[in-house]
Every structure is written in C-alpha cells, then in structure tokens.
C-alpha cells in the first residue's frame, strides 16, 4: 500500500465541511467556479499549485488533503480551519526540490523521475518547480516511489502530522548520510548493470564461437567419412589380387 494519498473524500465534501457554497469557495480561492466544480467532481486532476492556493484561502492545513496510509478523515469546521491570526501561509520549497533531484551526488536523477511519471526527461523539473501544471496525484506517485515525504516540499507550519498544533512541518530533503548511501547504491546498481551486460556479451561471443566450431567439426567429419569411402574399394581390390597370385 502506498504511504501517501490524496484525500479526495474530504475535497469533494468541502462545501459541507465549511458550510459554504461552491460559488463562495471559488470566490475566496480566486478560482473560476466551473473549474473548481470539475476539480471537486474529480473530472480534472487537481494541481499542487491550486491545492496550496485553496489551503491558504480557506486556512486549512494541507495535511488534511495529503493523507498518510489512507487516513481519509473528514474533519468538522472547527478542526479543519485555523483562525486568521494564527494562520501561517503554506509554501512550496523550491530549494528542497533542487537538493533532492538533479545530477549532483546523492540526488535522484530527473530521468528516473520522468520514468515514474511517464513523461519525457525534460518535464519533471519544471513541474516540481511549479512552473508547469503538476497534478497532486503525480506528485504523490513520485513521493511514494522514492520514499519521500511530501512535506519535504510542502511547507506547512500550522499543524504537525498528528493534527495538533506544533512548530510546523519542514524538513530537509535528505540528511547527508542518506544522500551518500543513495549515491553508493546507485553506483552499485550501475556497476552491476555494466557487469551483467559484459557477461551477456561474452556469453553471446562464446555461443557464436561454439556454433562455428561445431560446424567446422561436422564438415571435417563428413570429409573424413568421404575419404574413407573413397579409399576403401582400392584397398579391397589389392588384397584380392594378392590372394589370387
């Protein structure tokens, strides 16, 4: 089971939880009502940027929507929202993105992220920097695949993961020891892949040489049998002549 998932149950019932209309919600979030309707009905995939925008507009911590182990709770309004004087805006940490992904030592290659997302290698970087549309579902797929916390990138200082007020959720992408371990494991995988490719090539070469030797052996054996057949008759005649004499 994936660790992280989107709480679509809560998202689809926001009007009941907050006791406001879709029209009013769209107005507060500065999102067109028709667009918001399609998001809430799961007709269109919700982008990360819109989720952050809505959380800030409605003053709802994002951990209610980014659920751990399918904990899809539907809280009441008193728990779901925070007063304006206590609210801390939710942000996206581009620096954590650059520390986690890329070509540097211990980072996750963008080409590997692209494979998980099913897109070309050029697209994930812009999506993770929120320069391009980045669906929440794609974001969580990457986090689950590489065992990353979404809160490495979603900076929410309103509540911790237990739902109690705290100092906030903000963590570095990876500690140095983990980065070094990831880099070492990646080197081991690359080395094993090269070794396997080399052994495969050697096996194919030996198999080809064996086939050639077997063909040569069969040809030599056929010629030898033909030679015996050609020489057998004269020897027999000579032997018979000696007996008659």
Q: Give residue-wise pLDDT tens across range 138-149.
A: 999 999 999 999
| Whole-prediction pTM | 0.65
Res 163: pLDDT: 39
Task: Name the least confident of 12-26, 82-96, 167-181, 210-224.
Answer: 167-181
Q: Would you place residue 240 in the very low, low, confident or very high pLDDT band (cuts 50, 70, 90)?
A: low
Q: Is the pLDDT of residue 14 over 60?
A: yes
Average pLDDT of the segment spanning 198-212: 81
- Nearest C-alpha neighbor of 186 from the set 119, 107, 98: 107
Instruction: Tell me what pLDDT residue 179 has.
Output: 53
70-87 mean pLDDT = 89
Helix (H) or strand (E) holding 155: strand 154-155
What is the per-residue pLDDT for 180? 52
Query: Which phi and psi angles does 75 have, rounded to 5°?
Result: -75, 160
Task: Name the token pair of 231.
Answer: 């020489």
Angle between helices 136-145 and 48-58 (to 10 degrees): 110
Please state, rounded to an integer, the average pLDDT across all residues of the chain: 83
Asked if the model's pLDDT at residue 225 lies above 70, the reply is yes
What ranges do the domains of the chain cover? 4-174, 186-245
Residue 222 has pLDDT above 70, yes or no: yes
How far apart CA 237 and CA 131 sit, in angstroms, is 97
Q: Give the torsion sign (CA, 33, 39, 40, 42).
A: positive
| Mean pLDDT value across residues 8-36 | 94
Which region among 122-136, 161-175, 207-221, 230-244 has the lowest average model confidence (pLDDT)? 161-175
Segment 76-102 shows an average pLDDT of 93
Q: Which whole number is the average pLDDT over 174-195?
A: 61
Residue 197 has pLDDT above 50, yes or no: yes
Contact criterion met (CB below 8 Å) for 110 and 121: yes
Confidence of residue 94 (pLDDT cuts 50, 70, 90): very high
Question: Would you state the pLDDT for residue 173?
Answer: 43
């Amino acid at each position: 089971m994936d660790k992280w998932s989107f709480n679509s149950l809560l998202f689809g019932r926001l009007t009941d939880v907050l006791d406001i209309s879709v029209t009013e919600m769209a107005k507060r979030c500065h999102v067109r009502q028709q667009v918001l309707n399609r998001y809430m009905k799961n007709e269109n995939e919700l982008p990360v940027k819109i989720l952050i925008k809505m959380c800030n507009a409605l003053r709802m911590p994002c951990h209610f929507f980014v659920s751990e182990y399918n904990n899809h709770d539907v809280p009441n309004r008193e728990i779901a929202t925070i007063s304006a004087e206590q609210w801390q805006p939710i942000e996206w940490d581009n620096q954590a993105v650059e520390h986690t992904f890329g070509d540097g030592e211990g980072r996750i290659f963008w080409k590997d992220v692209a494979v998980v997302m099913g897109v070309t290698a050029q697209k994930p970087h812009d999506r993770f920097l929120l320069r391009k549309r980045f669906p929440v579902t794609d974001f969580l797929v990457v986090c689950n695949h590489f065992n990353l916390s979404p809160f490495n990138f979603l900076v929410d200082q309103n509540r911790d993961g237990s739902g109690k007020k705290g100092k906030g959720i903000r963590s570095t992408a990876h500690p140095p020891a983990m980065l070094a371990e990831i880099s070492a494991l990646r080197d081991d995988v690359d080395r094993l892949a090269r070794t396997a490719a080399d052994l495969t090539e050697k096996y194919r070469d030996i198999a080809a040489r064996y086939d050639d030797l077997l063909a040569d052996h069969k040809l030599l054996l056929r010629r030898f049998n033909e030679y015996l057949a050609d020489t057998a008759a004269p020897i027999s005649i000579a032997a018979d002549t000696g007996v008659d004499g």
